[in-house]
A and B are shown apart, each in its own frame.
Chain A
């Protein structure tokens, strides 16, 4: 960072902040080491880092919101000239919410499930300002309108479980900003939302930043999001600040880690066009074919008598050639997961037929599904070897030593050290678990892999790595891929064909290039959202 700025210019500053967590057995983990960060008025500083880099710990430390086993062991935190670490409890409470406000990840968990939205916002307001109930209600309604709700009376009286994910995030933002704080710390505010909603929330934050003259600290693992928002970016790695500067400065820098973080798509080889055209031209018979497939579900509201029909798929026609790599994109609720499950054989269509390799049989053992959450897709009590071995164990065609050897082979192929074969699945990280799931799927010797939002929960750099692995495997084993996703990250790299779904129907198909120009409204909104988020790899296709 350039030399320290004069004190009066800095709104919020941490100076050589160090933080430790104490485990149940007494051991300590260092979460932050000598972290120095400065925020000027009306500035937005982005903090870019992977999971575990300490970014959340930093945001919580600033407001002294650490769990009981966390301790700041050295350093200073100053806000508006005051030493936060020296404040009394009462003074600290005044800073929280009215001076510095924090929006945490996963808005659904940050709202009290048994209180109405307006009640939760009013409580924050009245904790800091002396206002009458009437005024509090008016200001709350005004704030709800400000964050984009057109019917603040109804929303205010609702409970969190009655709102959608995007609505809950807006409500949480309203709660944080009701007292007009000077600083907003947004800790991964876009996680667990679909791409279009992410773009909307991002736009909202930009607007609020302008209208309320906020200074912001925006924490994320996705560098694309920061490009329109942040004035400066600090890259965090394992508790330390690795680099700091504007995005252009960082892009031009030489630090490999930083560049990998900022341009994760650099890691991915472009899908060889020869393979792609080969796939398109060979044999008339597609590997997978769906003819007028429809499916509906009966949903019953909890404890009620009424059932109503949800049409998940409507007249789906689809053909996928062997060796191809097809992406199915759409918003939540567009039917893409139902489609994946029907193709994989977990659900039967009500109408139409699904032909795999020409046959109508329901035996889909040559199609394997990789779930979104590797944590629930693997039995946490199994060791890595047992998990990968499972398809072989069930088939019982090989002897145990043969199965074990094959499992270790697959483990290495998936990029994991086979020396860890004896570790329990629960001890691996999220990305590693997904690799285990992929190795397991390969053990079943499939011809087709369906990736149902398999990358969504991972940090962007990690997504790139796994995608690279998948592309290697595809080339090596001649697999056909069906990628189900809600965002367009890296799309031009891995997809020959893109299918756009909305409300159970296929709205459009094409190549990534044609899709980016498409006039179709659903496609346009998806593309626009991705542009907003500066989704990785979009420039390649253009």
Chain B
């Protein structure tokens, strides 16, 4: 067990290192850096710009800069933001927390909806249920996140029931309970949009995995031995479907991270998304790198969690490890 865990953690660290190198290398392709725009201004002389560059280490060769950044990352700083004049992590971590505030509940709710529905749709493949399933998922799949986000905004504007953006109201300075209520009120629309966007793909995968299990020889053999339908479904089919279902977990995490970026921008939720955008437009490279790394960390964690669950639920993996 420990060996398996360590191997998966090692793998994750390798990926993180590789990603950091990749992203860093990509950033180097940038023609110019934060201070390039400064050179256009007449108020700064070339010497000042050079001095600033030297101060931030931007004139060093690539390997040196990478190692310094790694060092900074290990110290929890993740480099420096030029626009805000503070260590990148100070800006990124609160934003990361806000992104998690959206993605984690969305993940849980999507799964809570998609898994039972998918299992049911696979179990009862009767005419009208099947048509309902096809129609429903097709409709949802066609509606992309951007459309859903804009529709949600329209809803907020026209009905005034939900806030049109942001994470908290100005007046939310009362008790802990009212603060929480206010937060939930602001979370409602973005989370709904994310859930609506990810339920359909997850549901489809759940259904097809369940169908594969339910059509298998061993399930038919179980029916042949006279086991009741509920026993077959819950004690025999679901455990066998655990493997493909858990593997979906990584997929859905990736889906939600991508979707959350957009939703945060459109609905003005102060997460990693708007920060990345701002950093890109302002050429604040360390912020960009840091944001990408953080989102990668979330995805790798999601996959790691899936690996862990697989170990617990699939005896084939547990015994061979």
- Chain A residues in the interface with B (C-beta under 8 A): 63, 65, 68, 93-98, 101-102, 104, 106, 109-116, 120, 123-124, 127-128, 159, 161-162, 172, 175-176, 179, 301-304
Neighbouring A residues of B226 by C-beta, 8 Å: 93-98, 124, 127-128, 179
Q: A162 to B319, Cβ gap below 8 A?
A: yes
**In the bound complex, do residue B236 and residue A123 qualify as a contact, i.e. CB atoms below 8 Å apart?**
yes
Q: CB within 8 A of B218: which of A94, A111, A304? A: A111
Chain A residue with the shortest CB-CB distance to B235:
A123
- CA A106 – CA B240 in complex, angstroms? 19
Q: Which B213-232 residues have C-beta < 8 A from chain A?
A: 216-228, 231
Known contacts A106-B217, A114-B242, A127-B231; 4 additional CB pairs below 8 A are: A93-B227, A102-B221, A109-B217, A116-B315
A97, A109, A301, A302: the one within 8 Å of B225 (CB): A97
Tell me the bound Cα distance from A116 to B235 in angstroms.
12
Q: Decide: A96 near B224, CB < 8 A? Known: A113-B218, A114-B316.
A: yes
Asked if B10 is at the interface of the complex by the 8 Å CB criterion, the answer is no
B4 on interface, CB distance cutoff 8 Å: yes
Report the minimal beta-carbon distance from A343 to chain B, rounded to whole angstroms. 33
Whether the Cβ atoms of A112 and B218 lie closer than 8 Å is yes
> Quick one: closest B residue to A111, CB to CB?
B218
Which 5 residue pairs of A and B lie closest in terms of their CB atoms, listed nearest first? Answer: A97-B226, A96-B226, A97-B225, A109-B217, A110-B221
A124 and B218 alpha carbons, distance in the complex (Å)? 13
The answer for the CA separation of A121 and B315 in the assembled complex, in Å, is 18
Flag if B236 contacts A115 (CB, 8 Å).
yes
- Which of A97, A115, A161, A175 makes the CB contact (< 8 A) with B239? A115
Q: Which residue of A lies closest to B318 (CB)?
A: A159
- Contact, CB under 8 Å: A65 / B223: yes
* Interface size grouping (class) on chain B: 20 to 34
Q: A97-B226, A104-B221, A303-B4 are in contact. Are A114 and B321 (CB under 8 A)?
A: no
B290-311 contacts to A (CB < 8 Å): none
Q: Are B216 and A109 in contact (CB under 8 A)?
A: yes
Interface centre among B218, B223, B239 (most CB of A within 10 A): B218
Q: Verify if B182 is at the interface (C-beta below 8 Å from A).
A: no
Q: Is the CB of A114 within 8 A of B239?
A: yes
The reply on B314 being an interface residue by CB < 8 A is: yes
How many A-B contacts if CB must be within 8 Å? 93
B219 proximity list for chain A (CB < 8 A): 112
B225:A113 contact, CB within 8 angstroms:
no
Q: Bound state CA distance, A101 and B315, in angstroms? A: 28
Which residues of chain B have C-beta atoms less than 8 A from A104's C-beta?
217, 221, 224
Known: A106-B217, A303-B321, A304-B321. A113 touches B316 (CB 8 A): yes
A302 shortest CB reach to chain B, Å? 4
* A-chain residues with CB within 8 Å of residue B321 when the two chains form the complex: 303-304
CB distance A175 to B240 under 8 Å?
Answer: no
CB of A185 to closest CB in B, whole Å: 10
Residues of B within 8 A of A128 (CB): 226
Contact at A301–B220, with CB atoms within 8 Å?
no
Interface flag for B42 (CB, 8 Å): no
10 example contacts (A-B, Cβ-Cβ < 8 A) are as follows A65-B223, A97-B225, A101-B225, A111-B218, A112-B240, A114-B242, A123-B235, A127-B227, A302-B320, A303-B4
Q: Once the chains bind, are A161 and B222 in contact (CB under 8 Å)?
A: no
Q: Which of B24-50 contact A (CB under 8 A)?
A: none
Interface centre among A63, A106, A124 (most CB of B within 10 A): A124
Q: Name B4's closest neighbour in chain A (CB-CB).
A: A303
Provide the bound-state CA to CA distance between A97 and B319, in Å. 31
Nearest B-chain residue to A94, judged by Cβ: B226
Q: In the complex, what residue of chain A is closest to B7 when comparing beta carbons?
A: A303
Given A97-B225, A303-B320; A113-B240 close (CB under 8 Å): yes
Q: Looking across the interface, which residue of chain A has its beta carbon closest to that of B227?
A: A127
Expressed in whole angstroms, the Cα–Cα distance for A424 and B220 within the complex equals 32
Residue of A with least CB distance to B313: A114
A94: min CB distance to chain B, Å: 7
Contact of B220 among A65, A95, A98, A106 (CB under 8 A): A65
In the complex, chain A residues whose CB is within 8 Å of the CB of B125: 68
Partner of A124, one of B220, B227, B316: B227
Q: Tell me the bound Cα distance from A175 to B228 in angstroms.
A: 16
- Cα distance A102–B194 in the bound complex, in angstroms: 48
Residues of A within 8 A of B224 (CB): 63, 65, 96-97, 101-102, 104
CA–CA, A302 to B222, complex, Å?
A: 29
Residues of chain B with a CB closer than 8 A to A179's CB: 226
Q: Which of A96, A128, A175 has the most B CB atoms < 10 Å from its CB?
A: A96
**Nearest B-chain residue to A102, judged by Cβ:** B224
Which B181-221 residues sit within 8 Å CB-CB of chain A? 216-221
Residues of B within 8 A of A301 (CB): 320
Cβ–Cβ < 8 Å partners of A94 in chain B = 226
A178 and B7 CA atoms in complex are apart in Å by 42
Q: How far is the CB of B184 from chain A (nearest CB, A)?
A: 39
Closest to B315 in A: A159
A97 to chain B, nearest CB (A): 3
- CB contacts (< 8 Å) of B225 on chain A: these are 96-97, 101-102, 124, 127, 175-176
Q: How far is the CB of A307 from chain B (nearest CB, A)?
A: 15
Q: Whole-angstrom distance between the alpha carbons of A123 and B219 in the complex? A: 13
CB distance from A120 to the nearest CB of B (A): 8
What residues of chain A lie closer than 8 Å to B231, measured between beta carbons?
Answer: 123, 127
Pairwise interchain contact B228-A127, C-beta atoms closer than 8 A = yes
Determine the chain B residues whose CB is within 8 A of the CB of A109 once the complex forms.
Answer: 216-218
Kindly list chain A residues whose C-beta atoms are within 8 Å of the C-beta of B320.
301-304
Residue in B closest to A178 when the chains form the complex, CB atoms: B225
Cβ of B127 to closest chain A Cβ, rounded Å:
12
A83 to chain B, nearest CB (A): 18
Residue of A nearest to B320 (CB): A302
Nearest A residue to B125 via CB reads: A68
